[in-house]
Amino acid sequence: MKFLAQIDVMPLKALLDPQGKAVTRSLHTIGFSAMDNVRIGKHISIELEANSLEEANMQVEEACKKMLINPIMEGFEFSVKPLH
């Protein structure tokens, strides 16, 4: 079966996110003064073959831990859906 994984990677809350900080400042400059604490991460989508949803979930989690995220600086969450 084919599955689609959607992974969100975010910088850890405890760490300064300079990109988010710069964007927050620019939003204020163009008038969005009510907006604050922009944080910018990345989104990864992966198509994969697996025998079950459970197996697909395990594969994605392993790929995240092994390569896709660095736990020292990032957190992640993901969802996996069958791909039709």
Partner 1 sequence: MKFGVVIFPGSNCDEDMIFVLKEIMGQEVVRLWHKDEDLHDVDGIILPGGFSYGDYLRSGALARFSPIMEKVIKYAHNGGFVFGVCNGFQILCEAGLLPGALLHNDTQKFICKNVYITADNDESAITSEIITSEALKIPIAHGEGRYYADSKTLQELHANRQILFRYCDEKGHINADANPNGSVQNIAGICNKNRNVYGMMPHPERASDLELRNSDGKLIFDSILSWYNQ
Binding region for partner 1 (CB under 8 A): 11, 15-16, 18-19, 21-22, 67-68, 70, 72-73
CA distance 81 to 84: 9
CA distance 10 to 8: 7
What minimum distance in Å lies between the beta carbon of 46 and partner 1?
A: 13
As given in the structure block, the two tokens for residue 52 are 């079950």
What minimum distance in Å lies between the beta carbon of 49 and partner 1?
A: 21
- Residue 5 or 68 with smaller CB distance to partner 1: 68
Tokens 């197996």 sit at which residue?
Answer: 55
